Amino acid sequence: AQTVTQSQPEMSVQEAETVTLSCTYDTSESDYYLFWYKQPPSRQMILVIRQEAYKQQNATENRFSVNFQKAAKSFSLKISDSQLGDAAMYFCAFFGNEKLTFGTGTRLTIIP
Amino acid sequence: GAVVSQHPSWVICKSGTSVKIECRSLDFQATTMFWYRQFPKQSLMLMATSNEGSKATYEQGVEKDKFLINHASLTLSTLTVTSAHPEDSSFYICSAHRRGGLADFYEQFFGPGTRLTVL
């Protein structure tokens, strides 16, 4: 079974600064996908960024980028130029064995 | 974009009654739909996976007789909470995998969720 661990229950960052959210996972599979989802107060799950395990290049989406270390089974999310709208719960998720497993989440607060 | 809707968004029912929640993919066909449960300030827990025209696959610990899932078409899946009790109160979220998506890419599209309160 796969597990996803987010060791930071809460994080805060000054507006316009950079913050990194940590995620580690455990699996015996070689082919899988990794995701970061954002859940604002509305509770709608929003995909932030995705990474295919077979790709060595780290994914980037505008202000969001990941540091994917396959050997270490680490998948951190970096948010640059943080904005007030980035405030939300962030979930790291692993897709393998036909299902999505979520971490426990990190609540990100943006300080104006 | 791929849109998934859920209905109702919020339901309150009396203990012992059954509640049906619908999940629809509005602009795409979904090969597979998933049902999650989320308790306050917690993560999403997969309850079951449903494929159109076949029986749902339930995760360990999920009572299949209590949480009935029907995937009637490629755009509709329903979750029925039978004989609901206060401990079933939770936020239920569905997601759908788009049929015909890129073979080397995987993404689930999430519905907005349904808040169930059992009195």
Query: How would you classify the pairing of strands A106-111 and A10-14?
Result: parallel
Chain A CB contacts of B106 under 8 Å are 33, 95
Interface test with B, best of A37, A45, A107 (most B CBs within 10 A): A45
Tell whether the model's pLDDT for residue B100 goes beyond 50.
Answer: yes
Q: What percent of chain A has pLDDT over 90?
A: 88
Contacts of B109 (CB under 8 A, 6+ apart): B2, B3, B4, B25, B28, B95, B96, B97, B98
The DSSP H or E segment spanning B95 is strand B90-98
**Interface A:B, Cβ pairs < 8 A:** 41
Distance CA A68, CA A65 (A): 10
Interface contact flag, A45 B106, Cβ < 8 Å: no
Pick B43's closest partner by Cβ from A47, A91, A95: A91
Neighbours of B108 (CB within 10 A): 24
Band (pLDDT 50/70/90 cuts) for residue B31 is confident
Residue of B nearest to A5 (CA): B43
The minimum CA-CA distance between A13 and chain B, rounded to whole Å, is: 20
pLDDT at A101 over 80: yes
pLDDT tens column, A50-97: 999 988 899 999 999 999 999 999 999 999 999 999 999 999 999 988
Amino acid at A77: L
Cβ separation A91–B49 shorter than 8 A: no
What residues of chain B lie within 8 A of the CB of A44, using their CB? 110, 112-113
- Residue A91 to residue B110, Cβ atoms within 8 A: no
Q: Which two tokens stand for residue B44?
A: 């999403």
Structure tokens at B96: 């759908």
Q: What contacts A56, CB < 8 A, 6 or more positions away?
A: A70
**Reported confidence tier of residue B104, pLDDT bands at 50, 70, 90:** very low
* All residues at 6 or more sequence positions from A110 whose CB lies less than 8 Å from its CB, including other chains: A12, A13, A14, A15, A82, A83, A84, A86, A87
Question: Is the pLDDT confidence value at B51 over 70?
Answer: yes
**The tokens of A19 are what?**
């913050």
Q: Quick one: DSSP state of residue B83?
A: S
pLDDT at position A80 is 98
Could you give the 3-state DSSP secondary structure of residue A85?
A: helix
The SS3 call for residue B26 is coil
Q: In whole angstroms, what separates CA B63 from the centre of its chain? A: 14
Q: Apex CA A106: angle with CA A12 and CA A28, to 5°?
A: 140
Q: How far is B50 from chain A (nearest CA, A)?
A: 11
Cβ pair A42:B107 closer than 8 A: no
Task: Give the model's pLDDT for residue B7.
Answer: 97
DSSP string, A48-75: EEEEETT--SPPEETTEEEEEETTTTEE
The reported pLDDT for the residue numbered A81 is 98
Best of A34, A91, A100, A107 to disrupt the B interface (most B CBs within 10 Å) is A100
Contact A100 B46 (CB under 8 A): yes
Q: Compute how many other C-beta atoms are within 10 angstroms of the C-beta atom of residue A31.
A: 8
